[in-house]
Amino acid sequence: MGNHDDMALLTENACRIIEWSKTEKRIPVYRGADTPLFGPYKDLGGKKVHGDFALGSVPFPQPSNLDLIDDSLSASEFIVEKCVANPGEITIITLGPLTNLAGALVMRPDLGKYINGIYSMAGVINDMGNTSPVAEANISNDPESAKIVFNAADVSITLAPLNVTRTIHMDPTFLSSLKATGPLGTRIHDIIDYYVNVLTGWGTLVDEIPTHDSTAVMSLLHPELFKVSEPVFIDVEIKGELTYGQLVADWKDHYKKKPQTRVLLGCEDSAKFKEILLSAFTALQVSA
């Protein structure tokens, strides 16, 4: 949850992405949590930003691979099972609220020692938020879960905050190139077009549409593209009247806690970033 509150729709969308990728691998899909761990879902405008179908406003046909959905385990249970069975071999990428991962850590408090690393598009450090003056949507949707993750034992996190994702732009030239990669690029372009229209309607310049989630993925696959901080301890504010959901980075070691997070400080080559992204879409073609 986060982009939408309809978990059935979001689960179907995961199947759509797998189907569109034309992969021959069977990738199971486990349903994520539809509410935060400790309270009701707070709609922070996800449907406004991402559309009625959570992939813009385009009503795509039902995917043909819904048999990938495995309801024998929750997403949190699957994370525990997979990581414990494969110690040190699993890297987790989070592109939404941290509820599923926090749920796994509640079930298994020592899970951090089994996880190779966590790459997370989340938060903002000492800069403007997008759901409040100081907080970012993925954290704001469930700050208590984020706090569990950042305070878990033995976790190693690489954080892609708004500070960096806002500097890599899906400008008109990039979007035109994306559409030109083929049918899949056209489909993704149509999804992004809704997002672009929402953001420009709110005052974002058309040349400055941010590239959020891809940044976390790219920081794992191509770390050479980024300037990264030394490890720092990060915590989450869950009590502040004005700062609920804010990430607090302890750069001066005030809290005397073990640093667990490397923060992306900047993209060294955004042109190369986009080139790699476009080449991926070129390689993945799907029938219209």
Confidence class for position 22, pLDDT limits 50, 70, 90: confident
Q: What is the span of the domain harbouring residue 244?
A: 7-163+226-264
Mean pLDDT on 41-56: 90
Confidence class for position 43, pLDDT limits 50, 70, 90: confident
Contact 53, 9 (CB under 8 A): yes
* pTM as predicted: 0.96
Q: What pLDDT was estimated at residue 288?
A: 43
Between the alpha carbon of residue 87 and those of residues 82, 99, 117, the distances in Å are 9, 22, 11
Query: How many domains, in total, are found in the chain?
Result: 1
Residue type, 126: N
The verdict on residue 128 lying in a domain is yes
Contact 37, 99 (CB under 8 A): yes
The verdict on residue 236 lying in a domain is yes
List the CATH number of the domain containing 14: 3.90.245.10
Q: How far apart are CA 178 and CA 188, in angstroms?
A: 8
Q: Each residue of 161-192: pLDDT tens digit?
A: 999 999 999 999 999 999 999 888 999 999 99
Residues contacting residue 149 through CB under 8 Å, at least 6 positions apart: 98, 101, 102, 105, 118, 155, 157
Residue 249 backbone class (left: φ over 0; alpha: ψ -120 to 50; beta: rest): beta
Q: What pLDDT was estimated at residue 39?
A: 87
Between the alpha carbon of residue 214 and those of residues 25, 95, 200, the distances in Å are 21, 9, 20
The verdict on residue 178 lying in a domain is no
Residue 240 tokens read as: 């502040």
Q: What pLDDT was estimated at residue 228?
A: 98
